Amino acid sequence: MDQTNIIRDLLRWIDDNLDKPLSLDNVAAKAGYSKWHLQRMFKDVTDQAIGAYIRARRLSRAAVALRLTSRPILDIALQYRFDSQQTFTRAFKKQFSLTPAYYRRTDEWCATGICPPIILDDHRHLDHEFVQMQEQPLIGLEQSCSYALEEWSSACSQMRRTFWHYYLDHTTSIASEVFGLHHAIHNTEKEDEQTVFYTTAVKPEDASFNNAEYSHLTIPAGEYVKFSFSGEPTSGAMQEFLYQIYGVYLPKLNLTRRPGYDIEHYKLKDIKVSDINYKNDDPKSHIAAFDYYIPIRR
* 160 and 269, same domain (yes or no): yes
pLDDT in tens, 34-61: 999 999 999 999 999 999 999 999 999 9
Determine the pLDDT at residue 280: 52
Q: Which helix (H) or strand (E) holds 218?
A: strand 215-219
* 141 and 242, same domain (yes or no): yes
Q: Residue 94: is its pLDDT beyond 80?
A: yes
**Closest alpha carbon to 233 in 128, 136, 162:** 162
Give the pTM: 0.85
pLDDT in tens, 125-166: 788 999 999 999 999 999 888 888 777 666 777 777 788 888
21 in a domain, yes or no? yes
* 35 and 162, same domain (yes or no): no
* 273 and 136, same domain (yes or no): yes
Q: Which helix (H) or strand (E) holds 141?
A: strand 136-148
Q: What is the CATH number of the domain that holds 7?
A: 1.10.10.60
The pLDDT mean for the chain works out to: 87
Print the domain residue range for 139. 128-297
Q: What is the CATH number of the domain that holds 264?
A: 3.20.80.10
251 in a domain, yes or no? yes
Where do the H-state alpha helices sit in 142-189?
Answer: 152-169
Q: Alpha carbon of 287 to those of 54, 171, 203, 222, 233: distances in Å? A: 40, 17, 17, 26, 9
Burial class (CB in 10 A: 0-12, 13-18, 19+), 89: middle
- Scored b (16 or more CB within 10 A) or e, 179-208 reads bbbbebebbeeeebbbbbebbbbbeeebbe
* 63 and 134, same domain (yes or no): no
121 in a domain, yes or no? no
Tell me how many domains the chain contains: 2
User: What percent of the chain has pLDDT above 70?
Assistant: 89
User: Could you give the CA distance from residue 100 to residue 91 in angstroms, rounded to a whole number?
Assistant: 10
Q: Residue 281: is its pLDDT beyond 60?
A: no
* 223 and 254, same domain (yes or no): yes
Work out the angle between the directed axes of helices 24-31 and 50-68 (0-180°, nearest 10): 110
118 in a domain, yes or no? no
Average pLDDT of the segment spanning 99-127: 88
**Closest alpha carbon to 287 in 216, 214, 228:** 228
pLDDT in tens, 188-237: 788 888 888 899 999 999 998 887 789 999 999 999 999 988 766 655 67
